[in-house]
Amino acid sequence: MRKNVIRLTHCAMLLMLSSFGAFLVTLSFPAQAAQKDWSKLTVGFTPISGAAIPFFIAVEEKLFQKHGIEVSPVFMGGSPLINSAILAGEFPLGYTAGGAVLSSRLSGSDLIVIGTPLPVLAIDAWARPEIKSVGDLRGKRIGVTRLGASTHFAGLAMLDSAGIKPNEVVFIQNGGVGESLAALLGGRVDVSMIGYPAGLNAKNAGFKLLFRPSETEYGLFPTAAVGARESWLKDPKGRKIAVDFLRALQEAQILTRENARVTKKAIKKFTRVGDDASLQGSYEFYKDIYPPTIRVVEKAMANALKFIDHPKAKQYDVRQSFDTGFAEEALR
């Protein structure tokens, strides 16, 4: 794969901008076995932004519990980390990114996408004011969460729109959306790929919206996907849990589009954004981007495949990377 400079940043400013604390390590619900025999399921998720709103809502409104699952969310800074944890057996299912699942599958894993809550690339490029166009990015530093994550794919789409090769820029891994924003504010990168509500913070700080993929031909992309191991899904119990998980997520998807109060409440809790203007702005931005269902969008998966640097990518049948049956069963 292309040579990239990898840098991990840790910044105290993160405590102010998106202070997650111990909350991001694990969240768990009180045991209520006497009331119902819930299936216990740890779920790795990313990012801490609007791209995970349905998952946030499903947790906050206890929709997973409604469908018989006790979910313990675990934040992980980037989809590649989530996918590696799934393959290592730490948990069987994750709220991840379709592009990262594709990359893993091309490398021989049995990860597969069973739903795409957000099949749109809702990650913007925020740049220093002196950068006037994407064409000015040669030799510049671009902040992403991790290589292979949706922020990285958004950066590749941005470069492609101006005919710039990936090796003509420097990608900097920051580990999370909050860290990418902190890197931009601290001058460690020239551009950061971030979504709402962090994008509003960048705007308010005087940075320029350089590229918005959702308004271009690069719009369809599996930014948020539910990924799981095929070997786990083949087990009847695993399949049932996966379908019930998608049922809860589908209910949350509808709330994301239609219920401002519930959506803003979830964003506020998980992203630690508290001001009404940012919460309303995030809701307005995402309510029309999220589709009515979590069905897998084949075109979005195909678009992701175009940006994967792997010898098998050109000949690969993208339909082997997802299974539509789970979402269809959940919607019945």
Q: Is residue 67 pLDDT above 50, yes or no?
A: yes
Burial code of 28-60, b = ≥16 C-beta within 10 A, e = fewer? eeeeeeeeeebbebbbbbbbbbbbbbbbbbbbb
pTM of the prediction? 0.81
Please indicate, yes or no, whether residues 172 and 257 belong to a single structural domain of this protein.
no
Domain of 263, in residue numbers: 14-121+220-331
Among 199, 215, 231, the domain-final residue is 215
> Tens digits of per-residue pLDDT, 157-177?
999 999 999 999 999 999 989
Instruction: Indicate whether 68 belongs to any domain.
Output: yes
User: What pLDDT does residue 198 have?
Assistant: 87
Please indicate, yes or no, whether residues 234 and 114 belong to a single structural domain of this protein.
yes
User: What pLDDT does residue 37 have?
Assistant: 53
User: What pLDDT does residue 55 have?
Assistant: 98
Angle between helices 236-258 and 53-60 (to 10 degrees): 100
CATH number at residue 156: 3.40.190.10
Percent with pLDDT over 90 in the chain: 76
Please indicate, yes or no, whether residues 19 and 85 belong to a single structural domain of this protein.
yes
Please indicate, yes or no, whether residues 26 and 43 belong to a single structural domain of this protein.
yes
Instruction: Indicate whether 5 belongs to any domain.
Output: no
Token pair 């405590």 in the structure block, residue:
15
Q: Is residue 5 pLDDT above 50, yes or no?
A: no
Among 215, 247, 280, the domain-final residue is 215
Please indicate, yes or no, whether residues 279 and 313 belong to a single structural domain of this protein.
yes
What is the total count of domains within the chain? 2
Instruction: Indicate whether 3 belongs to any domain.
Output: no
Token pair 């740049």 in the structure block, residue:
127
Among 215, 244, 265, the domain-final residue is 215
